[in-house]
Chains A and B, each alone.
Chain A
Amino acid sequence: MKIRIKFAKYGPVKFVGHLDMLRYFQKLVRRAEIDICYSAGFSPHQIMSFAAPLGVGMQGFGEYTDIEVHSTKSSKESLLSLNRSSVEGVDVLRYIALPENTPNAMSSVAAADYFVTEREGYETEPALFEKFREFMALPEILIEKETKKSSAIIDIRPMIYDMECVEDGENLGIHPMAGKTGIFLKLATGSVNNLKPELVLKAFYQYLNREFPVFAYSVSRLEVYGNAGSEAKPDLKPLDFFGEEIL
């Protein structure tokens, strides 16, 4: 039986890297006594797969991992024991059953929401919203994207599904964002097209013709989406849309 777990990662725990987060969850499900499936062999490992990895230093409020279990308690009970066994900064938000043929979290990622806020004590753009609105209106955004071997000029505009200047993060539906001003981004994410929020900020500073202050902005990921439609007619849904509450 496939289970999808949605969780938030914030505070100092944001400095725990992706692979260590994986190890954290392996131990968490054991502490919570989730009846997880193991692979065979001398060093069996849990059947577990994470959606898009979150960069070190970034908070996430809609992160996902899929696991395979032999049996399970209700969503409510499972959530309770997972959260009882977790640390401050890792909250398990949902625990839902997936239909048998749902593709795993990793391969189904299509987009993600980000919220960019200014960090205190750093010099940021004073007329942030005004300038960003100009930037948003550009028909194409060209930037040099470096890969391991080469670099290429690409247009990232089509990979930006949505951009907004947000006066009060309250409407974003993520509690810690309430009262914060910032920029909302919905970006292509996953194995086909992948745009990192830093690259958008870099492009913005390129447009401003100023050097990008690396530490001036703090980025949180709010949600990760899968595509419930087709490639031609995408229909983005949060990854927890695909599962059902276990009663």
Chain B
Amino acid sequence: MRQALSDEILMSIDKPARYIGNEVNMVRKDLSTVDVRFAMCFPDVYEIGMSHLGIQILYDMFNQMEGVYCERVYSPWHDLDHIMREKKIPLFTLETQDPVKSMDFLGITVQYEMCYTNILQILDLSNIPIYAAERTEEDPIVIGGGPCTYNPEPIADFFDLFYIGEGETSYRELIQRYRENEKKGGTRKEFLQQAAEISGIYVPSFLDVSYHEDGTVAGFSSNNSHAKNTVTKELVMDLSHTYYPEKPLVPFIRATQDRVVLEIQRGCIRGCRFCQAGQIYRPVRERDVEFLKEMAVKMLKNSGYEEISLSSLSSSDYSHLNELLEFLIETYQGKGVNISLPSLRVDAFSLDVMSKVQDVKKTSLTFAPEAGTQRLRNVINKGLTEENILHGCDLAFHGGWNKVKLYFMLGLPSETEEDMRGIAELSERVAETYYEIPKSERNGKVNVTASTSFFIPKPFTPFQWAPMCTKEDFLNRARIVNNRMKEMLNRKSLKYNWHEADVSFIEGLLARGDRKVSKVVYLAYQNGCLFDSWGDSYHHEYWLKAIEDAGIDIDFYTTRPRKEDEIFPWDFIDAGVTKEFLLREWKKSQKEEVSPNCKVQCQGCGAVRFGGGICFENKN
């Protein structure tokens, strides 16, 4: 096997196995039978990228297509990045170790905003021009996909096209049109025109955006007759008869997700108003439980993994959860396979399951109330009540648990000091619940850990209109929580953690940015920003300088209140949920009114038109 890196280089960097490929279940193809080569990239370090289920699904899908070879690319860590630049080694794929530049496509999945500079690193190290406008017939077609591309605008200049929505549906046609164009000897632009006609495909260079004097968007107009004015997200309606990686790739080094991952459903019925995933993956679609059982068995057999975990936004809502868990426990208990549970709603059933598969003394209970008071939980439409939490804790404490983790957000719309103090007070009541049970039944001391992250408004959520707090405001709020924590009677059992505010602020800018923000990303990268989601690698001063040099007013994007009729940079994308619905939810939130979930009562979000999922299932 050829290696792109010499032994000397591999021996002088950290974790060389990140770059050698050759893992279990890696696909090998005879290149003479391949006419389309697709490099699939997760722009972060190997251990993170290899843990991503979406890539594994697409890797499996592409490699099932005849004549198509899908290979993987991850971000070289800082140490190798320096060496590659110094020695002018072009970025390569893991499978064949061939240069990325020699591929037909480079597909990049964009899972979080703080990986944007890593995207530029990938292009740069591949010797592909960073700006799409500068690319030639020699360069691969650069495609973006994943949740962040629901607002592709801050990175639009760097991509030839975006695939909006779930990958299982339109790639076959895209590849077909590529082949036809190649056969005709068509140009890059001709292919992009062909691509623009496909459902879910957005070609940024074919869309013009005009702005008002105040900097807000005035309108969109397509400048090419092949391109649509609105791009509708793609989604798979039948998740039980589609691609799923029966033979998952098994890395040599320990990945973040070192286990079989079983995606039980897509979407979420809950409609929390801050959550983007809960909106863009509507409607909820479950996978057939028999399909899941079969996959679990096959994947464990083919990978040799010793652990399996279930994945979804809200696993307790999956209608066959009991059956699936019972099957897994029955089939695998005592056979060296751990079952790692997703965060389930804490009730008698889940506690029973947990006590079977985990060591109660070592695991903690997790709750995500997100806000400290019922009033604010109503504002964000988080169904969890204090009673739910305390009752769940009481049950668990009697069952031997003594560690509780609580997750909150600070800076939510309408948050008052009372809500902030409520975080400490709720934590205190959890501790009190523990000490209410007789000493003889307790299991030592209780540990309650409350963590807060800072609220960042995201596109396609009811809070897309909401202003974000300033950094000072954020830290001030954390201080209020912290002070209140110290006043609590059981303070010795309570622990409080809060996030850095700097990164959140940049994330806020990128999340709701427009095309003008791409300059900031470009300059930040040039200043040396890379791996921004890794605390140690993050350089706030480089970002601030980039913002200044790009002439961008960050407050315009973050702290500015939006008018109800403002056109947003992402409004040309149809994510399934209508803007009217989102606005309705925004107004309800201001009146502190909750919306029942999809199972209880349809809220008319617009996703019904996809013709399936929860919208058509029996309601009770």
A238 to chain B, nearest CB (A): 27
Chief secondary structure at chain B's binding surface: loop
CB-CB under 8 A from A181, the residues of chain B are none
The answer to whether B358 and A31 touch across the interface, beta carbons within 8 angstroms, is no
- Check: B359 CB closer than 8 A to any chain A CB: yes
- Check: A136 CB closer than 8 A to any chain B CB: no
Q: A24-B252, A56-B11 are in contact. Are A30 and B24 (CB under 8 A)?
A: no
Total count of chain A residues near the partner, CB < 8 A: 32
Identify A119's interface contact among B7, B20, B23, CB under 8 A.
Answer: B7
A31 to B303, CA, bound (A): 6
Identify B301's interface contact among A12, A28, A31, CB under 8 A.
Answer: A31
A135 to chain B, nearest CB (A): 25
CB-CB under 8 A from B362, the residues of chain A are 42
The answer to whether A57 and B358 touch across the interface, beta carbons within 8 angstroms, is no
The answer to whether B306 and A57 touch across the interface, beta carbons within 8 angstroms, is no
A44 to B23, CA, bound (A): 25
- Check: A176 CB closer than 8 A to any chain B CB: no
A42 nearest in chain B by CB position: B359
A87 to B250, CA, bound (A): 11
CB-CB under 8 A from B1, the residues of chain A are 11-12, 88-89
- Check: B22 CB closer than 8 A to any chain A CB: yes
CB-CB under 8 A from B300, the residues of chain A are 30
CB-CB under 8 A from A12, the residues of chain B are 1, 3, 20-22
Identify B22's interface contact among A20, A28, A85, A87, CB under 8 A.
Answer: A87
- Check: B17 CB closer than 8 A to any chain A CB: yes
The answer to whether B306 and A30 touch across the interface, beta carbons within 8 angstroms, is yes
- Check: B254 CB closer than 8 A to any chain A CB: yes
Identify A38's interface contact among B7, B20, B254, B336, CB under 8 A.
Answer: B336
A15 to B20, CA, bound (A): 8
- Check: A83 CB closer than 8 A to any chain B CB: no
The answer to whether B20 and A27 touch across the interface, beta carbons within 8 angstroms, is no
CB-CB under 8 A from A24, the residues of chain B are 252
B26 to chain A, nearest CB (A): 8
Identify A20's interface contact among B11, B252, B305, CB under 8 A.
Answer: B252
Interface residues of B in 1-57 (CB under 8 A from A): 1, 3, 7-8, 10-11, 16-17, 20-24, 26
CB-CB under 8 A from B250, the residues of chain A are 27
The answer to whether B24 and A87 touch across the interface, beta carbons within 8 angstroms, is yes
A216 to chain B, nearest CB (A): 10
The answer to whether A16 and B17 touch across the interface, beta carbons within 8 angstroms, is yes
Interface residues of A in 142-183 (CB under 8 A from B): none
The answer to whether A26 and B304 touch across the interface, beta carbons within 8 angstroms, is yes
A148 to chain B, nearest CB (A): 21
Q: A57-B10, A215-B7 are in contact. Are A85 and B336 (CB under 8 A)?
A: no
A11 to B17, CA, bound (A): 12
The answer to whether B11 and A215 touch across the interface, beta carbons within 8 angstroms, is yes
Identify A89's interface contact among B7, B10, B22, B334, CB under 8 A.
Answer: B22
- Check: B242 CB closer than 8 A to any chain A CB: no
A44 to chain B, nearest CB (A): 5
A226 to B5, CA, bound (A): 36
Identify B24's interface contact among A15, A17, A20, A27, CB under 8 A.
Answer: A27
The answer to whether A20 and B304 touch across the interface, beta carbons within 8 angstroms, is no
Identify B336's interface contact among A15, A30, A31, A119, CB under 8 A.
Answer: A30
- Check: B253 CB closer than 8 A to any chain A CB: yes
Total count of chain B residues near the partner, CB < 8 A: 31
CB-CB under 8 A from B254, the residues of chain A are 20, 23
B250 to chain A, nearest CB (A): 6
The answer to whether B304 and A28 touch across the interface, beta carbons within 8 angstroms, is yes
Q: A13-B22, A88-B1 are in contact. Are A42 and B358 (CB under 8 A)?
A: yes
B302 nearest in chain A by CB position: A31
Convert B194-227 into 0s and 1s, putting 1 for each residue whose CB lies closer than 8 angstroms to a CB of A.
0000000000000000000000000000000000
A218 to B8, CA, bound (A): 10
A70 to chain B, nearest CB (A): 12
Convert A24-66 into 0s and 1s, putting 1 for each residue whose CB lies closer than 8 angstroms to a CB of B.
1011111101001010001111100000000011000000000
A25 to chain B, nearest CB (A): 9
The answer to whether A57 and B22 touch across the interface, beta carbons within 8 angstroms, is no
Identify B17's interface contact among A20, A44, A46, A119, CB under 8 A.
Answer: A20
CB-CB under 8 A from B17, the residues of chain A are 15-17, 20
A105 to B359, CA, bound (A): 32
A15 nearest in chain B by CB position: B16
CB-CB under 8 A from B24, the residues of chain A are 27, 31, 85, 87
Interface residues of B in 371-430 (CB under 8 A from A): none
Identify B305's interface contact among A11, A15, A27, A36, CB under 8 A.
Answer: A27
CB-CB under 8 A from A87, the residues of chain B are 22-24, 26
CB-CB under 8 A from A28, the residues of chain B are 304
A11 to B2, CA, bound (A): 9
- Check: B169 CB closer than 8 A to any chain A CB: no
The answer to whether A16 and B252 touch across the interface, beta carbons within 8 angstroms, is yes
- Check: B338 CB closer than 8 A to any chain A CB: yes
Convert A60-90 into 0s and 1s, putting 1 for each residue whose CB lies closer than 8 angstroms to a CB of B.
0000000000000000000000000101110
A45 to B335, CA, bound (A): 10
The answer to whether A57 and B11 touch across the interface, beta carbons within 8 angstroms, is yes
CB-CB under 8 A from B21, the residues of chain A are 12
The answer to whether B22 and A27 touch across the interface, beta carbons within 8 angstroms, is no
CB-CB under 8 A from A38, the residues of chain B are 336
B534 to chain A, nearest CB (A): 22
A215 to chain B, nearest CB (A): 4
CB-CB under 8 A from B26, the residues of chain A are 87
The answer to whether B22 and A26 touch across the interface, beta carbons within 8 angstroms, is no
B300 nearest in chain A by CB position: A30
The answer to whether A15 and B302 touch across the interface, beta carbons within 8 angstroms, is no
Interface residues of A in 119-143 (CB under 8 A from B): 119
A219 to chain B, nearest CB (A): 11
A218 to B6, CA, bound (A): 12
Q: A17-B17, A88-B1, A119-B7 are in contact. List 9 more A-B contacts (CB 8 A).
A: A13-B252, A20-B17, A27-B24, A27-B250, A29-B304, A30-B300, A57-B11, A89-B1, A215-B7
By Cβ-Cβ distance, the 4 closest A-B pairs, closest first, are A27-B304, A30-B304, A12-B20, A15-B16
**Sample (11) of A-B pairs whose CB atoms are under 8 Å apart:** A11-B22, A12-B1, A15-B16, A16-B17, A23-B254, A27-B304, A27-B306, A33-B301, A43-B359, A56-B16, A89-B22
Contacts from B to A (Cβ < 8 Å): 1, 3, 7-8, 10-11, 16-17, 20-24, 26, 250, 252-254, 300-306, 334, 336, 338, 358-359, 362
Contacts from A to B (Cβ < 8 Å): 11-13, 15-17, 20, 23-24, 26-31, 33, 36, 38, 42-46, 56-57, 85, 87-89, 119, 215, 218
